[in-house]
Amino acid sequence: MPFPEQRPRRLRVNENIRRMVRENSLSVNDLVYPVFVCHGSGLATPVDSMPGVYRYSIDILLKNLEEIVKLRIPAILTFGLPAKKDAAGSGAYAADGVIQQAVRAIKKEYPELMVITDLCLCEYTDHGHCGVIQDNYVVNDPSLELLAKTAVSHAAAGADMIAPSDMMDGRVGAIRSALDKNGYVNTPVMAYSAKYCSAFYGPFRDAADSAPKFGDRRSYQMDPANADEAIREVRLDLEEGADIVMVKPALAYMDVIRRVKDEFGCPVAAYNVSGEYSMVKAAAQNGWIDEKRVVMEILTGIKRAGADVVITYHAREAARWLRDGM
């Protein structure tokens, strides 16, 4: 029975009826707030390409997390800026590394806040790649050892979840067995499973000072043209023990989020990355878009695509808007 019996607009006539039939909604429970931590004290250095984002020293980070906890954002995702870098990225797994110190301090002050640690070497290596370099190539298996060691040091510092973002083959399995061997059987792994080699990471690399010094990441991150490959990557990570799988970036990869959700029905995270954030901020600063509405539309769209967890630099402001009922 088509028109005139069928009139889809009937279910749109007022806000109450729209609320009744709404299929998806964003909640504060869905959000993860990424933070950048550096050594020192009293520091909040703005990231020029990411308005509203700062690199915090641990003391200032702790002050900022008070609002995050009050807003009931369940989790943060930490990125570290080491004091110095070397070829083996030793700052990543140093017992007194910036992340290890930060996690201990955060868990002491806010035991209920979930701390997810991004696990990668690119912020810690002097060459800026996510693994060990031999003959200008990122070698896979030697990198696994360092990643597993880093995971254990994060868990030892009190990390609630480990999020490997390096895209080496076999890293989830290596990390899982290292965690288990060291008694961290209940520490989940959220794997950056379908992580694309994306130009949308540009602002992040300013923030984390992690741009590769030579070449690019195409020999380990995925080709943006591929989606079947994402399914294979996710399957491998699940087989290796990933608890949550991630698609990254989010906006140009909504189809991949949906396919992963449909294919595996497992918890899926999507990373609304730095370039996606900065584009919105730049347009908003120019008065070209309604920032609040655009942000909420983007985050709800990512959920509708199939994400259970949305990692976003907008988390704090989105949580405020949700609290205030927009």
Residue from 72, 107, 205, 235 that binds ligand PBG (CB under 6 A)? 205
| CA separation for the pair 153, 19 (Å, rounded) | 46
Catalytic residue status for 195: yes
Closest distance to ligand PBG from the beta carbon of 77 (Å): 9
Q: Is 274 in the site for ligand PBG (CB under 6 A)?
A: yes
Cβ closer to ligand PBG: 176 or 217? 217
Tokens 């999507």 — which residue? 270
Q: Interface with ligand PBG by CB under 6 A: which range of 117-125, 132-140, 180-188, 225-233?
A: 117-125
Query: What is the residue-wise DSSP string for 184-215?
Result: -TT--BEEEEEEB--GGGHHHHHHHT---SSS
Query: Which whole-number Å values give the CA distances from 21 to 14, 25, 279, 302, in the listed order?
Result: 11, 11, 32, 19
* CB-based contact 240:277 (threshold 8 Å): no
* CB-based contact 324:287 (threshold 8 Å): no
Q: Interface with ligand PBG by CB under 6 A: which range of 83-91, 145-153, 204-212, 229-237?
A: 204-212
Contacts to ligand PBG from residues 163-192, by CB under 6 A: 165
Residue from 32, 92, 113, 120 that binds ligand PBG (CB under 6 A)? 120
Residue from 93, 196, 201, 253 that binds ligand PBG (CB under 6 A)? 201
Q: Which of 85, 195, 281, 303 does the annotation list as catalytic? A: 195
Q: Interface with ligand PBG by CB under 6 A: which range of 56-64, 92-100, 114-122, 177-185?
A: 114-122
The beta strand positions in 219-320, using DSSP E, are 244-248, 268-272, 309-312
Q: Is 230 in the site for ligand PBG (CB under 6 A)?
A: no
Tokens 């991150």 — which residue? 221
Q: Which of 248, 261, 281, 303 does the annotation list as catalytic? A: 248
User: To 10 degrees, what angle do helices 140-157 and 98-109 make?
Assistant: 30
What does the binding site for ligand PBG look like in residue numbers (CB under 6 A)? 118, 120, 122, 130, 165, 201, 204-205, 210, 273-274
Instruction: Report, as residue numbers or ranges, the catalytic residues.
Output: 195, 248
